[in-house]
């Protein structure tokens, strides 16, 4: 097959679960098929290169920086992706992921009369309406339009996300659930001991609905001396650093910014607990990465994270936005090595079911089915 994928961000900017998923699937599909990816170009990257047999086509955006929330960048990216998609000729199938890659690649596919398989990780309408006012209303309208496009199939990452899509009007028979994955071999190769000082870690975008501020406040209530690593970047970083200053914990908190894969694994393996306080997730890929690293997890009790942790059997859950409960769970886990070992064991049992090789095979099966039809 000749496959054209589309992602707002791609190698080397794998900042979140969506970008990681697109990258891991693309490099595996490229072992058997011709795979091209359209993504954003930033000032330090070439317009075209081949990485792991994947043809990467980068189109410019006005800001030239990672700024996903910008409507100007988003509009420019959609237009440039449409032009680039038409220039690249005909493909057997088109595979964009939300949000901005969806309209241009869907349009190109319609002009070529070819199938489109979209990856939609979650439905964000309620979060946007709650958090962003007028801007959130416009984003919600944009999302509603995206869900109405004529896809051959929609791949989503959890049953929780599938239920949201169905409630939003997407026919259930168009949706295929294929979860996120992890490359266990990468984790097994890196050998590193747990930090001597209790270490808490968060990995992900620094954006409102992740509620990293809740984690900072809960961390400030710990009864023992510990460190907190905030791994990732985003528009909330400045605000979060100020929160750490106000709480008087700045010397105990390390904001690393974006780190490469090896550094991320080392930080995970040296930590004693990963916390994901987000109230909006389609899957929560960092949970299975933490399980692969042998690090227990604490997560907000929302449907997707409950699903990944097997209803809390492989991780502690707390009521979303309940800071006192999160602080209690942190104290409980960090002070109980036996509980840490138990959750680590259960996590290892679960993560064996989530490998990128298997996820890529399932994705290939869906693509071939659409092409053959």
- CATH number, domain containing residue 110: 3.40.50.2000
269, 293 Cβ separation under 8 angstroms: yes
Q: Which residue has the tokens 């989503």?
A: 156
Q: Which helix (H) or strand (E) holds 79?
A: helix 71-87
Q: Does one domain contain both 118 and 263?
A: no
What's the pTM value of the predicted model, to 2 decimals?
Answer: 0.86
Task: Determine the pLDDT at residue 137.
Answer: 84
What 3-state DSSP class applies to 142? helix
Q: What range defines the domain where residue 279 resides?
A: 184-351
Token readout for 349 is 């049992």
Distance between CA 118 and CA 156 in Å, rounded? 9
3, 33 Cβ separation under 8 angstroms: yes
Task: Report the candidate in 298, 310, 300 with the shortest Cα–Cα distance to residue 349.
Answer: 310
Task: Report the candidate in 185, 188, 204, 179 with the shortest Cα–Cα distance to residue 25.
Answer: 179
Task: Report the candidate in 322, 71, 68, 62 with the shortest Cα–Cα distance to residue 205.
Answer: 68
Q: Does one domain contain both 155 and 300?
A: no
Q: Does one domain contain both 308 and 338?
A: yes
Q: Does one domain contain both 150 and 286?
A: no
Task: Determine the pLDDT at residue 139.
Answer: 84
What 3-state DSSP class applies to 150? coil
7, 19 Cβ separation under 8 angstroms: yes
Residues of the chain under the 70 pLDDT cut: 66-69, 130-132
CA 279, 283, 286, 287 dihedral sign is positive
Task: Determine the pLDDT at residue 93.
Answer: 98
Task: Determine the pLDDT at residue 223.
Answer: 85
Q: Does one domain contain both 147 and 197?
A: no
Q: Does one domain contain both 245 and 146?
A: no
Q: Does one domain contain both 78 and 108?
A: yes
Distance between CA 336 and CA 20 in Å, rounded? 33
Token readout for 148 is 């109405």
Q: Does one domain contain both 228 and 331?
A: yes
Looking at the 3D structure of the chain, how many domains does it have? Answer: 2
Distance between CA 27 and CA 101 in Å, rounded? 19
Q: Does one domain contain both 129 and 229?
A: no
Q: Does one domain contain both 125 and 266?
A: no
Token readout for 302 is 């929302």
First to last CA, the chain: 14
Catalogue the long-range contacts made by 175-179 (C-beta closer than 8 Å, 24 or more residues apart). Answer: 176/366, 178/359, 178/362, 178/363, 178/366, 179/283, 179/308, 179/354, 179/359
Q: Does one domain contain both 297 and 341?
A: yes
Q: Does one domain contain both 234 and 279?
A: yes
Task: Determine the pLDDT at residue 85.
Answer: 97
What 3-state DSSP class applies to 55? strand
Task: Determine the pLDDT at residue 98.
Answer: 87
């Amino acid at each position: 097959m000749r496959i054209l994928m589309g992602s707002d961000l791609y190698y080397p900017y794998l900042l979140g679960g969506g970008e990681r998923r697109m990258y891991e699937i693309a490099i595996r599909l490229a072992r058997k098929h011709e795979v091209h990816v359209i993504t954003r170009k930033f000032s330090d990257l070439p317009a075209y290169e081949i990485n792991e047999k994947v043809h990467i086509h980068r189109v410019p955006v006005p800001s030239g920086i990672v700024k996903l929330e910008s409507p100007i960048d988003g509009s420019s990216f959609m237009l440039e992706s449409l032009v680039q998609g038409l220039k690249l000729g005909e493909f057997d199938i088109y595979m964009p992921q939300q949000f901005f890659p969806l309209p241009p690649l869907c349009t190109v596919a319609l002009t070529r009369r070819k199938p489109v398989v979209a990856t939609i990780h979650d439905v964000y309408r309620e979060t946007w309406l709650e958090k962003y006012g007028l801007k959130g209303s416009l984003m919600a309208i944009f999302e509603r339009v995206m869900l109405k496009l004529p896809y051959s199939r929609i791949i989503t990452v959890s049953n929780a996300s599938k239920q949201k899509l169905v409630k939003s009007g997407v026919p259930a028979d168009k949706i295929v659930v294929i979860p996120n994955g992890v490359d266990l071999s990468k984790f097994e190769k890196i050998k590193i001991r747990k930090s001597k000082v209790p270490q808490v870690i968060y990995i992900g975008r620094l954006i409102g609905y992740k509620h990293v501020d809740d984690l900072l406040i809960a961390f400030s209530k710990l009864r023992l001396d510990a460190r907190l690593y905030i791994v990732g970047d985003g528009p909330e970083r400045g605000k979060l650093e100020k929160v750490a200053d106000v709480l008087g914990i700045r010397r105990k908190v390390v904001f690393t910014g974006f780190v490469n894969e090896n550094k991320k694994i080392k930080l995970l393996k040296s930590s004693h607990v990963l916390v994901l306080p987000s109230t909006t997730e389609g899957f929560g890929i960092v949970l299975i990465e933490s399980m692969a690293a042998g690090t227990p997890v604490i997560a907000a009790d929302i449907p997707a994270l409950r699903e990944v942790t097997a209803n809390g059997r492989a991780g502690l859950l707390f009521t979303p936005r309940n800071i006192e409960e999160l602080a209690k769970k942190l104290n409980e886990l960090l002070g109980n090595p036996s509980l840490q070992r138990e959750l680590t064991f259960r996590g290892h049992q679960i993560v064996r079911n989530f490998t990128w090789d298997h996820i890529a095979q399932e994705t290939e099966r869906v693509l071939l089915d659409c092409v053959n039809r």
